[in-house]
A and B are shown apart, each in its own frame.
Chain A
């Protein structure tokens, strides 16, 4: 078992992270514990963020909301802008959401996670802190490859800034699972739609969560659906697994996008 370190400040946490060999941040631990049980986690040190003060703060201003990495997913159901709140609400179950953290959910980097789809659409910014300081990474540049993120060794997620959502735009988060109602998504889509553009965040249907837009100026609802599906087509690259083959997932992705766009359209026009 890895050795557990319990730093008392963020400075101490990033020192430990860069100074120790093969160290890993311990956030909520909900993903880490499963990887340990599966025998596929090989860290020598855990740097526990639970003892670091100030990482559970939520600060709202007129531009948006900034949340600490240890804020629970459950809290985001009420603290985040509506599209993101809906995506956070769809993670796992209320008990896991009580423990799982915003930072861990991003850093985990899994292509199926629900919240990144909405964060991509809303153009959120990840704050990454190391012993050298803090930099900002647009979430649209954060997911770099299969289970890889833009975090450098020695960096941790110290916050996420989510801009306010355009109140006149329509939005919808749609998630489809194939093994059971409460399973991981097989295809998910977060959609925000104004008069000219539809913004789409896609989960589970490519090796990374992806963001695409389509021009819908002057189109009717069917036109917007067609434009959205044409825009996602080139980025669909599903990984076949127990939840379905590539062709099945491709089809489910189209259905998910269509449902999300139609609902966002209705939401925009009828509130």
Chain B
């Protein structure tokens, strides 16, 4: 069956016809065009497909699109270098190939919204379900700490 849903992606409303079994990942990539949302593992374990729904992180590879009718979604396309997290990732050279980075950036935004001054351990724990094939974990951790500092200087 096809259902019409309305989702706000990065502030823009989209009216979409989606199949009942369509995954949010595929709908965002193919119908909305936000290709920063990527498939890695497809089973919730790598974070490449992360989106924020109302600020909360979701693995779009395991999410039914129809459930997000009325949701406000954020993908990396909605952020630019004026964003503290994005600019910190850039300044700390956190990206190599960059495939994983949108997911890490969104997870980091969720963390900082919940906890303005996370400890090193809390940063690691919140990002435990994200995988970087290039292994830039030290730079990523540094970038999150830098973003926290930028947002709320001590």
Contact = CB atoms under 8 A, between A and B. Distances in A.
Nearest to B103: A95
A30 B64 CA distance: 10
B122 to A, nearest CB: 11
Q: Please classify the interface of chain A as helix (H, G, I), strand (E, B), loop, or mixed, using the class held by over half of its residues.
A: mixed
B62 A93 contact: no
Contacts of A33: 23, 61-64
Interface residues of A, number: 23
Contact of A95 (B19, B20, B58): B58
Contact of A94 (B1, B57, B61): B57
A182 interface: yes
A45 to B, nearest CB: 11
Given A29-B64, A37-B42, A182-B128, A3 B50 contact: no
A99 B59 contact: yes
Q: Please classify the interface of chain B as helix (H, G, I), strand (E, B), loop, or mixed, using the class held by over half of its residues.
A: mixed
A93 B64 CA distance: 19
A213 to B, nearest CB: 32
A20 interface: no
Contacts of B59: 30, 95-96, 99
Contacts of B42: 37
Nearest to A95: B57
Interface of A: 1-4, 6, 26, 29-30, 33-34, 36-37, 48, 50, 92-96, 98-99, 181-182
The 4 lowest CB-CB distance pairs between A and B, nearest first, are A93-B129, A1-B21, A4-B20, A33-B62
Given A3-B1, A34-B43, 14 more contacts: A1-B21, A4-B20, A33-B23, A33-B61, A33-B64, A93-B44, A93-B47, A93-B130, A95-B47, A95-B57, A95-B129, A96-B62, A98-B58, A99-B63
